Amino acid sequence: MSLSASEKHVIVKKHQRAANDTGSPEVQVAILTAAINRLTEHMKINKKDFHSRRGLLKKVSQRRSLLDYLKKTNQTSYEKLIVELNLRK
């Protein structure tokens, strides 16, 4: 259920700030969003998988924290990322 290295590489290339950037909030939020979307599809099929549900909720919480940080530090980047990833708020 986790993302493969090639999938992460594509996401990093799309959202990185500089050439070797892999840890900026934008990249982390994009990777978490892809994982959340994949887990959401899994949860639609496997409704009683509570272990995966807990992992999904942890990822959503972590993404929310990163988005709050990004909004506080770089408003324009936050707004651009929200539009690119189709996130509410």
Which residue, among 85, 79, 67, has the nearest Cα to 14 in the 3D structure? Answer: 85
User: How many domains does the chain fold into?
Assistant: 1
CB distance 66 to 29 below 8 Å: yes
* DSSP per position, 75-87: HHHHHHHHHHHT-
Give the domain extent around 78.
Answer: 5-85
**Structure tokens, 3:** 């993302």
Q: Along the 89 residues of the chain, how does pLDDT read in single tens digits?
A: 689 999 999 999 999 999 999 899 999 999 999 999 999 999 999 999 999 999 999 999 999 999 999 999 999 999 999 999 999 85
Q: Record the pTM.
A: 0.92
> What is the number of other CB atoms lying within 10 angstroms of the CB of residue 24?
18
CATH number, domain with residue 33: 1.10.287.10
* DSSP per position, 9-56: HHHHHHH-SSTT---SHHHHHHHHHHHHHHHHHHHHH-TT-HHHHHHH
